[in-house]
Structure 1
Amino acid sequence: MTFIFAHRGSAGTHPENTMEAFLQAERAGADGIELDVQLSKDGEIVVIHDETVNRTTSGKGFVKDFTLAELQNLDVRDRFGVAGKLRIPALKEVFGWLKTNRLLCNIELKTAKISYPSIEEKTVALIKAYQLEERVIFSSFNHYSIIHCYRLAPEIEIAPLYSEMLFMPWVYAKSIRAGGIHPRLVTTSDQIIQTAMENGIAVRPYTVNTEKDMRRLFEIGCTAIITDYPEMAERIRKEYE
């Protein structure tokens, strides 16, 4: 069965990387969530995609220049009309909720543009504190970052993110001890997906948002898809069970 990971939660229907988006992913029948982490000024791991708060909140400036309390005081922009006050979650809040279910969690380390001191160590320590080692996958466009995570905790799966064509990505994945690859969908043919899987490497393309693309990947039994629309994906997946 192809797993469904809700990209930044159910980002196509709820404000991305909020608890509301993650709760909706669970309701929709997703197998896991994907989220992004950065560090606040006071060293807390926070769940937000951009290096700045400009696009997704009422504030302006870099995430790293706000304390956790200041970040959580910002209003998250809501174009979907979700009831109630929305805020940027701390990763430990998400982990507390994950202990109430069996969802997997793909953590993208946002270390490609800004170097966050000890973000890998802090995230690994939190995963271990909540005993989520078997349910977490680390990914990043900064492959040094996930390799560092592997060295800290080889029991936690790592999977490189990449957006360009990569030659024999399963060979590269094995060379860095990765259990999977997270390629941009448009760079990835059925043959690459199938060959990687035959070589023991999980393939979870992003971002799979159309019915046509979902059907293509369900038909070949791709390991997982990362989508903004977990509810649609689950509806279509049921046809293939």
Structure 2
Amino acid sequence: MSRVPLLPEHPRPLLFAHRGCSSLAPENTMEAFQMAQQLGSPGLELDVHQCKSGHLVVLHDDTLLRTTGLDRPVEDCTWDELKDLDCGSWKDSRFSHCRLPLLHEVLDAFLPDMYIDIELKTRKTAGDPLPGALAEMLESFGKRAEGHITVSSFNPIALRNFKKRALQFPTAVIWCDDPELPVYLHHGEGRWISGCDYLKPIHNKVSKAFSFTLGALGARPIVPWTVDNLDVAQDLLRKGAAGIITNRPQDLHPLITPEEEPAHG
């Protein structure tokens, strides 16, 4: 099976700021994304849900409790109910002005200057409108999106449904040993269901044997998460990782900064 290349126009290693620069600003906010860009990160990673009114909202959790204090599932709320929520004070009171962004606002602000990994946040296996809604939005961005967007998910069915609508965007299955993830998906088995193009394992699952078995033999690049230590990141790159996802792009910037040649005199 042919694979869609993983951001071939962008230099290696790829570096994605996880939910923006989430170590310094509230995750998944315009402020976190802007900070990542200012710190020199070439890429962003973010999460998207579809709310009750059909809007694609950038948010990680299923509910709004942790980041806004509202104990309701995002899918049960309309955008009018969400748009004025404070999603920054939980991090620090100086971020009380932060609001939940819509996906199209983020794409409009950062494409094509940055590449962006969009994680589909959905548990549905049937009748799910999110994959199609995302495909439609990305297609509306045309050339601004192609070559600069990847789509990933823990849910291989969602990825497969997205692929039916938008073959041109590379996709990745994500996995770890979290008990919320079905045991039968704990070792990357979702790659067969999803037909994905690259792999996003939690970083502690990556070894040389892993890289060979799942990467080389499957012709799929590997982009592990979430790595906040430069030494660990460099070791993963030596094992063959194509990129790194990090909460601390400010610490991992040396990965993408060429060493200066010593002066000769």
Give TM-score scaled by structure 1 length.
0.88
Structure 2: where are the runs of 5+ without partners? 1-11, 178-185, 261-265
Q: 1:173 to 1:81 in 2, by over 3 A?
A: same
When residues 5 and 235 of structure 1 are mapped into structure 2, their CA distance, relative to the original with a 3 A threshold, is same
The 3-state SS of whatever aligns with 2:62 is coil
Cα distance in 2 for residues equivalent to 1:198 and 1:162: 18
Give the conservation status (yes or no) of the 8 Å contact 1:19–1:89: yes
Question: Superposition pairs for residues 1-241 of structure 1, below 5 Å?
Answer: 1-78=12-89, 79-80=91-92, 82=94, 85-99=97-111, 101-112=112-123, 117-131=128-142, 132-164=145-177, 166=187, 173=191, 176-194=194-212, 196-199=214-217, 200-238=219-257
Instruction: State the distance in 1 between where 2:23 and 2:126 align.
Output: 29
CA contact (8 A) 1:14 1:82 kept: no
- Does the 8 Å CA contact 2:156/2:191 hold for their aligned counterparts? no
- RMSD over aligned Cα, in angstroms? 2.4
The 10-residue stretch of structure 1 (112-121 or 186-195) with the greater mean CA deviation from structure 2:
112-121
Tell me the CA shift for residue 59 of structure 1.
Answer: 2.2
Q: Alpha-carbon deviation of 1:143?
A: 0.2
Identity %: 29
Amino acid at match of 2:203: L
Q: Counterpart of 1:232 in structure 2: which amino acid?
A: D
Deviates more, 1:48-57 or 1:182-191: 182-191
Instruction: Check conservation: 2:173, 2:194, Cα contact below 8 A.
Output: no
* Local SS of the residue matching 2:44: strand
Question: Aligned partners of 2:93, 2:246: CA distance in 1, in Å?
Answer: 21
Q: Distance in 2 between matches of 1:53 and 1:138?
A: 23
Deviation of the 1:184 alpha carbon: 0.8
Letter of the aligned partner of 2:27 in structure 1? E
TM-score by length of 2: 0.81
Q: What is the CA-CA distance between 1:31 and the residue it aligns to?
A: 2.1
Aligned length: 237
Between the aligned partners of 1:19 and 1:134, the Cα distance in structure 2 is 22
Q: Supply the AA of the counterpart residue of 1:142.
A: N
Q: For the Cα contact (< 8 Å) 1:39–1:116, is it kept in 2?
A: no
The letter for the 2-side match of 1:226 is I
**Unpaired stretches in structure 1, ≥5 consecutive residues:** none
Secondary structure of 2:147's counterpart equals: helix
CA deviation string 1:126-175 (max 9, x = no partner): 001112132211111110000111111111111101114527x7xx7477
- Contact between 2:125 and 2:158, CA under 8 Å: does it hold in 1? no
1:15–1:77 contact (8 Å) kept in structure 2: yes
Alignment CA distance shift 1:113-1:185 (3 Å): farther
